Amino acid sequence: MSEEFPGWHGTTIIGVKKGGEVVIAGDGQVSLGQTVIKGTARKVRRLSPGGFDVVCGFAGSTADAFTLLERLETKLEATPGQLQRAAVELAKDWRTDKYLQKLEAMLIVSDGKEIYVITGAGDVLEPEHDVTAIGSGGNYALAAARALMDGDLSAEEVARRAMAIAADICVYTNGNLTVETIAG
């Protein structure tokens, strides 16, 4: 990336698995350098290939993320009901395909039973402690959610509170959330 181009920043996506459900939440801010370009972006989506629901959140380049979501949907159609297998197949393609290798994005995906982070390094990670986060405010949201997991809060309440904390700390994260819940 050129030094003259400030680069796209921003996004916090969190996934919380608790009480028989998974919640994926994402903020709505898109920034270019120090400027907020948009505050209402929708970075969490529900895919339903063949009637099989999967919730996905993405961080990174939007065009790259949509390319990956399309590829994931194709993998899910080929392996209905097998999120882990589809995620591994996507990660293998992402790692070995010269076009896909240039994509700059990460995904959190869940079918309600499992939750995974898919990276361009070929990783399919299953988080410890049933919580994961990606993006510029991801570490703030992750720390907050882990602290909140032992209480009586629902998965959605943990996700919302953790995102509020991240938005208070990270200048690339706002409080305009998209929240999707999927039961296990």
**Residues carrying an active site annotation:** 11
Whole-angstrom distance, CA of residue 133 vs CA of residue 110: 13
Whole-angstrom distance, CA of residue 104 vs CA of residue 53: 25
Within 13 Å of residue 74, how many CA atoms lie on the same side as its CB?
Answer: 9
Give the residues across from 52 on adjacent strands. Answer: none
Whole-angstrom distance, CA of residue 153 vs CA of residue 157: 6
Contacts of 128 (CB under 8 A, 6+ apart): none
Give the residues across from 182 on adjacent strands. Answer: 22
Q: Is 159 known as a binding-site position?
A: no
Q: Is 147 known as a binding-site position?
A: no
Element housing 40 (H / E): none
What is the token pair recorded at 153? 């809060």
Q: Is 167 known as a binding-site position?
A: yes
Binding-site annotation, residues for Na(+):
167, 170, 173
Binding-site annotation, residues:
167, 170, 173
